[in-house]
Amino acid sequence: MPGDAIYVLGVGNLGKYVAHSLMKEAPGPVTLLFHRSSLEDQWRSAANGIQCITNGVPDTRSGFRIEVLPSSAQSPLKCSNKQYALDPIKYLIVTTKTYMTTGALELVKDRLSSETSILFLQNGMGTMDETSAKIFPDPKARPAYWAGICSAGVYSTDPFTIVHAGKGPLLVGLVEGPNTQNVPTHDQDAVLTQNTMVQRLSQAGVLETSVLSSEAIRESQLQKLVVNAIINPLTAIFRCQNGQLASNPPRLAVMKLLLEETGPIVKALLHTPSDMFSNQNLFDLVLSVAHKTRANTSSMLQDVQASRRTEIDYINGYIAAQGKRLAMPHVHNSTVVRLVKEGRTIQDHDIA
């Protein structure tokens, strides 16, 4: 049943983890969409499979369908099975870097429709709005958007090998939009029976999927945004691991300053007021994540160290833009965006 295939766009840490988990535990076709042609050679070197190492035990899964997307919407498509190449895509999981989202979606947009469910599983916020503006300006043609947050600790050791270092749930929820009126978002059983993608994610027990209401997933997205807006840029600017932020008084003071500006902006983005978004509660949340992930190098510091583009525009950049729109103070968020983009570092004695 090609129509029920789940397509995964973006094979970074999370894309590999989700694809591997689906193939291992939730029977049905999984198609990997390669949006860079170099991935095809790396895939062959990896013997056409994804390896996931958990507690030192490797598990390799093969059987994926592969499509190498054309470099532009006009060039021809290469895929492991021509029969499926132009099939409409009903279920799509997007795990690309945020700034690549619309460029990658552009390559498959003719296969997406209001019948499609897209799950955005990414750091930061803003990609759904960009997708609507650039890819689906007509709201009636827009797919149903799902938001996902995965807290599992996963890192790559080569292009198709990941280490599953820490357990963490996958939260998913349907985002309110033009094509979601008929989808029951509060009734978990109904969502599960109606959406094969969510059902299969849920079957892949290793993902520990919980289906949340639209409101609850928005709260979780905004909480995650706050966590990423404090930990990610500050670990990049101080060049330290997550746990080394809170254990150092000058850095802790900067965390607090940034949070005091970020908290009220994010709180204003809630659709329903929530006590969880007081500055104190948000700061406690940031501290607890920094502690739980104390040995981690944040994804932003990893990007800076590898001289890759960071996702700052979709984290502090998004918050600064929302602050501007709402006429709320946002100077600290704008400053960290600039510092990260310029590759600047701050020494503790600079702020003492």
Q: Quick one: 39 or 227, whose CB is closer to ligand KPL?
A: 227
Please tell me the count of residues contacting ligand KPL according to CB under 6 A. Answer: 11
**289 is a contact residue toward ligand KPL (CB under 6 A):** yes
Q: How far is the CB of 227 from ligand KPL (least distance, A)?
A: 6
Q: Enumerate residues 231-260 that contact ligand KPL by CB under 6 A.
A: 231-232, 242
C-alpha distances (whole Å) from 121 to each of 87, 93, 128, 158, 190 are 23, 7, 11, 21, 22
Mark the segment that binds ligand KPL (CB under 6 A) among 15-23, 138-146, 196-204, 296-304.
296-304
Of 136-144, 166-174, 228-236, 253-261, the segment contacting ligand KPL by CB under 6 A is 228-236
Long-range contacts of 108-111 (CB under 8 A, 24+ apart): 108/7, 108/9, 108/33, 108/69, 109/73, 109/135, 109/136, 110/73, 111/86, 111/87
228 binds ligand KPL (CB under 6 A): yes
**DSSP assignment of 87-153:** PPPSEEEE-S-GGGHHHHHHTTGGG--TT-EEEE--SSS-HHHHHHHHT--SGGGPPEEEEEEE--E
Which range, of 10-18, 45-53, 291-299, 343-351, touches ligand KPL by CB under 6 A? 291-299
When the beta carbons of 161 and 293 are compared against ligand KPL, the nearer one is 293
Question: Please, which residue, 200 or 218, has the CB nearer to ligand KPL?
Answer: 218
Q: By CB under 6 A, is residue 310 in contact with ligand KPL?
A: no
In one-letter notation, the amino acid at residue 179 is N
Instruction: Please identify, using beta-carbon distances, which residue of 294 and 324 lies nearer to ligand KPL.
Output: 294
Task: Pick the closest to residue 190 from 169, 168, 174 (CA basis).
Answer: 174
CA distances from 271 to 222, 226, 348 (A): 11, 16, 38
Residue 298 interacts with ligand KPL (CB under 6 A)?
yes
Residue 123 binds to ligand KPL (criterion: CB under 6 A): yes
Nearest-approach distance from CB 291 to ligand KPL, in angstroms: 11
Q: Note whether 214 binds ligand KPL by CB under 6 A.
A: no
Tokens 């709180």 locate to 267
One residue of 31, 202, 296, 316 binding ligand KPL per CB under 6 A: 296
Residue in 4, 1, 66 with CA at minimum distance from that of residue 200: 4
Assigned token pair, 46: 């990896």
Out of 202, 299, 310, 333, name the contact with ligand KPL by CB under 6 A: 299
Mapped to the 3 state alphabet, what secondary structure does 90-102 carry? CEEEECCCHHHHH
Residues at the contact surface with ligand KPL, assessed by CB under 6 A: 123, 227-228, 231-232, 242, 289, 293, 296, 298-299
